[in-house]
């Protein structure tokens, strides 16, 4: 009997125009030179706005996978209902339309530096300048090696809530459902995102326990030998306000974590817990790795795990058309190492890089600019009281960036007013 011919291969389905594949061209090259910004956090949003203001002749495209901006800064207060969700969220589309840049919600799959292309789930686009603003990733490999099951269980059950926004909702629900027992917080070793904020989080949770009379105990397991920055302010808060709730444990480097048995082994002892906030070590976000901006371990560079950039001009050392801003920036000074990985610094980096690009497009070599930083920490909710820290930077005669740190350790209500004024001013800078 003759064999019937196999059915012909079906043609690829025809997709609607706005449903793209990674192999499609997302945006063809236009008449304007193009800046592509990868990541829509504090740095990315700010960079897009300032580029449109300083270099309106450029096409600016912001790529971000989340549909709504959710702010990590101020989110500790949201966890304990000191601010509402609307306070932390902002509309990407509205600000993009206002400043005439393009916002595309899509997943970035690859960054091809040789071809100057960004590959997204919706297609590929060319860039003339690239700004990488990826935030952080959790280095669960430091705890679990290649055991993906342990890493996924840890993140799902006991999220760090230092990457917006699903983790924040999970943690908030867990905290408000907490009935009592031991809550353990592991602090990542420096450099980390917003170094004083884990202590603020512990204080605010302790304040909530105190107000609601929840019989809970919080253990802060710190890799460092003491709380810092604002160490005296936090220590006095622990001792004077939360002596029966917070136990601070220094030199508690994590040796083993079991998210199933709810047990942690550290150099300072072993801890069982009813709930935990497990903060793995931080590194530059995934996109920095995909862009080839992070040196391999052992490459002789002190930025290990972070993007290796020119300390003054924030571009890749080998490529002046690729910039990194915000938390992902690596080693910048032998005096203090890394800039604080904070929203304020990301905002300042973005403004600086927008200036650099605008000057180069105008045919001028830019002068260097340095950021500053402010961090306000609420440590009590009834009454609202806070402490703060300020960082200033200058270049010394040897060409080294120097940092001056000023801690404000006294708990005051005035600091909280300054905190909300700062947040309002910087949100307006990004979105208004």
Question: Superfamily for 143-281?
Answer: FAD/NAD(P)-binding domain (3.50.50.60)
Give the sign of the dihedral formed by CA 222, CA 224, CA 228, CA 232: positive
pLDDT of residue 298: 62
352-377 pLDDT, tens per residue? 999 999 999 999 999 999 999 999 99
Give the pLDDT mean for 204-225.
97
Confidence of residue 44 (pLDDT cuts 50, 70, 90): very high
Q: Could you tell me the two tokens for 175?
A: 């905290």
**Looking at the predicted structure, is the pLDDT value of residue 12 above 70?**
no
- Residue 184 confidence (pLDDT) above 80: yes
Which residues lie below 8 Å from residue 25, measured CB to CB, with a gap of 6+? 123, 124, 125
Which of 189, 394, 191 shows the shortest CA–CA distance to 311? 394
pLDDT higher at 18 or 231 = 231
From 370, 372, 172, 138, select the one nearest 257 (Cα to Cα): 138
The ranges assigned to domains in the chain are 25-135+285-370, 143-281
User: pLDDT class for 10, splitting at 50, 70, 90?
Assistant: low
DSSP assignment of 278-292 equals E-PPEEE-HHHHHTT
pLDDT band at 301 (very low <50, low <70, confident <90, very high): low
pLDDT on residue 112: 96
For the chain, the 3-state helix, strand and coil shares in percent, each to the nearest 5, are 30, 30, 40
Tell me what percent of the residues of the chain surpass a pLDDT of 70. 96
Confidence at residue 11, expressed as pLDDT on a 0 to 100 scale: 56
Candidates 230, 242, 247; CA nearest to 386 is 230
pLDDT, position 3: 58
Q: How many other CB atoms are found less than 10 A from the CB of residue 116?
A: 18
Q: Does domain 25-135+285-370 have CATH number 3.10.180.10?
A: no
Residue 14 has pLDDT above 90, yes or no: no
> What's the pLDDT score for residue 84?
97
Give the Cα-Cα-Cα angle 281, 287, 290 (nearest 5 degrees).
105
Can you give the pTM of this predicted structure? 0.94
Q: Is the pLDDT of residue 128 over 70?
A: yes
The stretch 321-348 carries a mean pLDDT of 97
Cβ–Cβ < 8 Å for 387, 37: no
Q: Radius of gyration over alpha carbons of the chain, in Å?
A: 23
Question: How much is the pLDDT for 5?
Answer: 58
Question: Fold identical between 25-135+285-370 and 143-281?
Answer: yes
Q: Name the least confident of 144-148, 216-220, 297-301.
A: 297-301
Please, which pLDDT band fits residue 419 given cuts at 50, 70 and 90? very high
Looking at the chain, how many residues does it have? 432
Q: What value does the mean pLDDT take over residues 188-204? A: 96
Res 261 pLDDT > 80: yes
The mean per-residue pLDDT over the stretch 246-275 comes to 98
Please give the pLDDT value at position 150: 97
Average pLDDT over the chain, rounded to an integer? 95
pLDDT digits (tens, 9 = 90+) for 82-123: 999 999 999 999 999 999 999 999 999 999 999 999 999 999
Kindly state the average pLDDT of the residues 169-195: 97
pLDDT at position 49 over 90: yes
Cα-to-chain-centroid distance, residue 284: 9
Percent of the chain's residues with pLDDT above 90: 90
- Per-residue pLDDT tens digits for 132-162: 999 999 999 999 999 999 999 999 999 999 9
Q: How many CB atoms lie within 10 A of CB 85?
A: 13
Determine the Cα angle at 292 with ends 132 and 144, to 5°.
Answer: 100
Confirm if 118 and 111 have CB atoms less than 8 A apart.
yes
pLDDT of 277 above 90: yes
Give me the pLDDT at residue 322, please.
98
């Amino acid at each position: 009997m003759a064999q019937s011919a196999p059915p012909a291969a079906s043609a690829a389905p025809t997709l609607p125009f706005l449903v793209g594949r990674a192999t499609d061209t997302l945006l063809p090259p236009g008449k304007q030179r193009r800046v592509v910004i990868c990541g829509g956090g504090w740095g990315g949003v700010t960079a897009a706005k300032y580029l449109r203001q300083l270099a309106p002749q450029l096409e600016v495209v912001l790529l971000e996978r989340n549909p709504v901006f959710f702010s990590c800064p101020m989110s500790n207060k949201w966890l304990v209902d000191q601010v509402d969700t609307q306070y932390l969220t902002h509309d990407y589309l509205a600000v993009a339309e206002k400043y005439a840049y393009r916002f595309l919600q899509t997943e970035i799959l690859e960054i091809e530096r040789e071809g100057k292309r960004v590959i997204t789930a919706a297609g590929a686009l060319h860039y003339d300048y690239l700004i990488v603003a990826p935030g952080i990733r959790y280095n669960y490999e430091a705890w679990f090696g290649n055991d993906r099951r342990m890493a996924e269980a840890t993140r799902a059950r006991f999220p760090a809530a230092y990457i917006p926004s699903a983790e924040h909702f999970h943690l908030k629900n867990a905290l408000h459902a907490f009935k009592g027992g031991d809550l353990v917080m592991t602090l990542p070793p420096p450099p980390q995102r917003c170094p004083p904020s884990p202590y603020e989080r512990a204080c605010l949770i302790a304040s909530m326990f105190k107000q609601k009379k929840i019989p809970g105990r919080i253990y802060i397991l710190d890799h460092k030998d003491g709380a810092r920055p604002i160490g005296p302010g936090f220590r006095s808060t622990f001792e004077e306000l939360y002596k029966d709730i917070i136990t601070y444990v220094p030199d508690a480097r994590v040796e083993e974590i079991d998210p199933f048995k709810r047990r942690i082994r550290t150099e300072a002892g072993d801890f069982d817990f009813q709930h935990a906030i497990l903060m793995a070590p931080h590194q530059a976000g995934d996109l920095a790795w995909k862009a080839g901006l992070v040196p391999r371990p052992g490459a002789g560079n002190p930025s290990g795990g972070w993007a290796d950039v020119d300390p003054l001009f924030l571009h890749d050392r080998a490529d002046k058309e690729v910039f990194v801003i915000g938390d992902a920036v690596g080693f910048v000074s032998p005096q203090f190492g890394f800039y604080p990985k904070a929203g304020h610094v990301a905002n300042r980096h973005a403004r600086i890089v927008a200036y650099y690009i605008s000057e180069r497009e105008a045919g001028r070599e830019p002068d260097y600019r340095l950021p500053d930083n402010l961090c306000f920490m609420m440590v009590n909710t009834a009454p609202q009281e806070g402490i703060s820290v300020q960082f200033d930077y200058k270049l010394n005669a040897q060409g080294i960036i120097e940092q001056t740190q000023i801690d404000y350790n006294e708990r005051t209500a005035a600091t909280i007013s300054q905190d909300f004024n700062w947040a309002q001013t910087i949100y307006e800078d990004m979105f208004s």
